């Protein structure tokens, strides 16, 4: 039990918060936000793995020896942009569901026979 794992634990807490929102809330927008929280927690996991004690941002400068690992940064950079793309598609689907069923609550949609 060393303090070196504090970041990981916060990440897990956030991940589980997002997960809980995702599985218990019926509102589709709330679900998407929960998914967003989950996503950010994964980003944090990657970025904290890339951190090196005493390192600095991976922009090459004279006189600096230690840099943080640039690879997770690249992966997460693209992941964030994919995240916003999927969020936009999800919201668009939600809007269409609202127009078709008049509600975005999952159970009400099910009552209306939306989900077989």
Partner 1 sequence: MKEPLRQHLILRMVSKFLIPYILLFALYVQFHGDYGPGGGFQAGVIFAAGIVLYALIFSLHRARRAFPDRAVELFISLGVLIYGGTGILCLLRGGRFLDYSVLSTHDPIHGQHLGILLVELGVGITVTAAMVAIFFAFADRGRA
Partner 2 sequence: MLLLAGTALAIVLLRDLFAVVMLSAIFSLLSASLFVLLDAVDVAFTEAAVGAGISTVLMLGALALTSTREKASRNFQLVPFLVVLLTGGVLVYATLDMPRFGDPQAPIHQHVAPRYLNASMREVGVENVVSAVLASYRGYDTYGETMVIFTAAVSVLLLLGGGRKRSRTELEPPEEAP
Beta-bridge partners for 27: 105
Q: At its nearest, how many Å lie between partner 1 and the CB of residue 50? A: 15
Residue 65 binds: one of partner 1, partner 2, none (C-beta under 5 to 8 A by kind): none
Least distance from C-beta 77 to partner 2, angstroms?
6
CA 10: distance to chain centroid?
14
Q: Which residues make Cβ contacts (< 8 Å) with residue 47, sequence separation at least 6?
A: 72, 73, 76
In the list partner 1, partner 2, none, the entry touching 6 (Cβ below 5 to 8 angstroms by class) is partner 2
Ranges within 57-86 binding partner 1 (CB under 8 A): 57, 59, 77-78, 80-81, 84-85
Tell me, rounded to whole angstroms, the distance of Cα 90 from its chain centroid: 14
């Amino acid at each position: 039990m060393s303090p070196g794992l504090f970041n990981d634990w916060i990440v897990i807490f956030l991940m589980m918060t997002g997960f809980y929102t995702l599985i218990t809330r019926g509102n589709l927008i709330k679900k998407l936000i929960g998914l967003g929280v989950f996503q950010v927690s994964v980003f944090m996991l990657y970025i904290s793995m890339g951190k090196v004690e005493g390192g600095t941002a991976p922009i090459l400068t004279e006189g600096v020896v230690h840099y943080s690992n640039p690879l997770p940064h690249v992966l997460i950079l693209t992941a964030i942009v994919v995240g916003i793309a999927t969020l936009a598609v999800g919201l668009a689907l939600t809007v269409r569901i609202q127009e078709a069923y008049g509600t975005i609550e999952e159970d009400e949609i099910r009552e209306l026979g939306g989900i077989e």
